[in-house]
Every structure is written in C-alpha cells, then in structure tokens.
Structure 1
Amino acid sequence: ISGFNISDEIYDIIDEIYKRKQRYVILKFNDEYTNLVVVKKGGRESIYNEVHEYVTTECAKSFCYVYFDFNYKTHGGQARDKVVCLKMGIPEQTPIKEKMIYASAYKSLQDSTKSIINIDCTDKASFEFNYIVNILLTKHESTN
C-alpha cells in the first residue's frame, strides 16, 4: 500500500518508546486506510497485559500494530530491554481487504520507523508475553 500517512505524533511516540519514556503504542488505520492513528498508548509503568487485553477484545476481528518496550531476562539472567514492532491480528477473522492492507503496509512502517525487531503475531498463542519473549531469546539475544 502506498499513500498512507504516519503523523509526527506517531513518530514522536515511537521515539519516546526507544528513549524509555513510554512503554507502548497501539496503531490502527483509520476507516479510509489513509492514516495510521494512535488508539492507545502507555507510560513506563504500563505492562504488556494492557496490550494483550486491548488486542484480544478491541482488535478481535481486525489488525493493529504495536510498538512495545519488552523487559526480560536472558537464560543467563541478564536483563534485556528491547523495543519490538508487532503486527497483531488473526487472519481467519479479518476481512481480506484489511489483511492485505496491513500486510503490505507493515514493511513500510518498519522502514519508516527504523524498527529492528519485528514479529508477526497471527494467532492467540502468539499474542502472549512469554511467546514473544521466547522469540526474543532465541532470535535476538545476541543483539543489544
């Protein structure tokens, strides 16, 4: 998809997540699929459960993008802090047009926000905190 806009507000919030001033932001397209909009954000005190609850209730039949600053420990006990871009949605429950738009816009979003760690969450199991942390441990533990 081309021709969609990412506002300065969204860039600023994502920047605040990387600077450890915000914990997360949830983004969706507007009804016309021309702009990404902030539907929810959380300060540093926020926990992943807030994202999980929102996605499983409010996005049950649609997609959204989430930038989240994950805190976790490596298998060796070292603390890690990684900002991850998630595309979240269950394809079987989403209209075809929306699936196509979110899939095609995902790479543009990653590139324009310089996202390094990106995870496609496409079923309820993949929405779980431990599932995502396990991916971080197995695929990204060597990156700082």
Structure 2
Amino acid sequence: MNSYLVYFEVFANPYFEITINSVKISSIEVDITGSVIFQFLILENSKFQQTKNHNQKVSSKSKYNNTLNNNDQVADESLTAFNDLKLGKKYKFIIYTLNDAKTEIVVDETSTDGDYDSFLEKLPENECKYAVYDFEYEIGGGEGKRSKIVFFTWSPDTAPVRAKMVYASSKDSLRRALNGVAADIQGTDFSEVAYESVLERVSRGAGSH
C-alpha cells in the first residue's frame, strides 16, 4: 500500500465525494480558491471513481506521485538564465517561481551580488521558490577556491500547504532541465540554507572537486 498525493479542482459547491476501492470519502471542503490537495492511502493500480454530489460539476486532475499535470513546462528564459550563470558567469544566483497559472517555471529574479546574505534576503518567509546559486568556497591545503552550482528548493514551514505541495511536485521538471548542478538543498527554514550548512554539503567528499 502506497501513499499518493492527489489534486482536485472543484468548480461549484465546495463539497464532493470520491469513491476509491469502494471506500467513500465524502463532504471534503476545499479552500476559497476552489481547490483541495489531500493525502491518503490507496492500493497499487486502484481506480478512481468520481461521484457527483447534488449535480455539482467536479473536475478531477488526479496523478499518482505528483500534484501537477505533465504539461508543466520550464520556460526558455529559465534555461537561458541558468546557462548564463553556469557558462558565462553572468549571474551569481537566480530565483525561480511558478507563473500565476502554475503551468510554467519562470525566472523571478537574477542577481550579480556575491554577498550570500543578499541571496538569503531574496528568499521570502512565507512563499516557496526555487533557486540556483554559484557557490564559491575555500578548500583546505592551500589549494585555493572552488565553485559549485547549488540548487535550492525553498519551502518554508510557514508557506501555505497547497503551495508547498505544488512546488514539491514540480521540482523535478526544473531540476532535470538544469545540467551541471552539483548539490541540492531543501530549505524549510533559514538554518537549512545558512552558508555553513551549504558549505558542509558542497565540500563533502575527497578534494571537494
């Protein structure tokens, strides 16, 4: 038995019922946006049976292991900005976000500021973001400096639950598109993205090359 995240949109009354393997989940109340994300246990290969309640129009967008559709795209500008950072050293970091329709990952902001604290200031306390950072650090033995590209998934504990689930589900679309990332950081609070925490991660391994 596995746990799956399932996403539903409701276009009318915020109450509907779903039958899964003859087990009915009914009267599920959604938020003001008309959507609900919830988690439950289902058997492998089980079928979803949608039941309309009081003739309400319900659209189901269920997808195993993901809360977004496959048509989510990484915008061309997102890949261009990444290559400018990786190959041209044009930027120190890039902040990515989902567009308003939650169908495309776009560039939110770029920066040439080399101060790591400036990067942290761009991570909002209550919103999810993605980021890449050209992380430069000293290595021991007088061997000089190294740099590695770090991918951040910023999902603070105080962000809305729906946003955290959506960003978690769409992360792979962006991550797979960015070739050359050396380390991944999942941040739920600022201690997890602090310079020392990231340094420990990227400098792991012999030589840190």
Bin for the TM-score computed over the shorter chain: 0.7 to 0.9
How high is the TM-score relative to the length of structure 1? 0.85
1:68 corresponds, among 109, 114, 133, to: 133
Separation in 1, partners of 2:91, 2:206? 23
Separation in 1, partners of 2:189, 2:76? 31
**1:54 counterpart = 2:99:** no
How is 1:62-141 mapped onto 2 (pairs within 5 angstroms)?
A: 62-78=127-143, 79-90=145-156, 92-114=157-179, 115-138=181-204
Of residues 105-114 and 11-20 in structure 1, the stretch that sits farther from structure 2 once superposed is 105-114
1:62-94 Cα shifts (integer Å, max 9, x gaps): 11011100110123343111011111121x312
**1:38 counterpart = 2:104:** no
Percent identity over paired residues:
22
Separation in 1, partners of 2:85, 2:206? 20
Which is greater in Rg?
2
| Offset, 1:129 | 1.5
Larger RCO, structure (CA 8 Å, separation 6 or more): 1
CA RMSD of aligned residues (A): 1.8
Tell me which residue corresponds to 1:3: 71
| Offset, 1:142 | 4.6
Tell me which residue corresponds to 1:22: 91
More strand, by proportion = 2
Task: Point out where structure 1 has 5 or more consecutive residues left out of the alignment.
Answer: none
Report if aligned partners of 1:74, 1:141 keep a CA contact under 8 Å in 2.
no
Task: Point out where structure 2 has 5 or more consecutive residues left out of the alignment.
Answer: 1-67
- Structure 1's consecutive aligned runs of 4 or more residues displaced over 6 angstroms after TM superposition are none
Report if aligned partners of 1:85, 1:119 keep a CA contact under 8 Å in 2.
yes
| Offset, 1:18 | 0.8
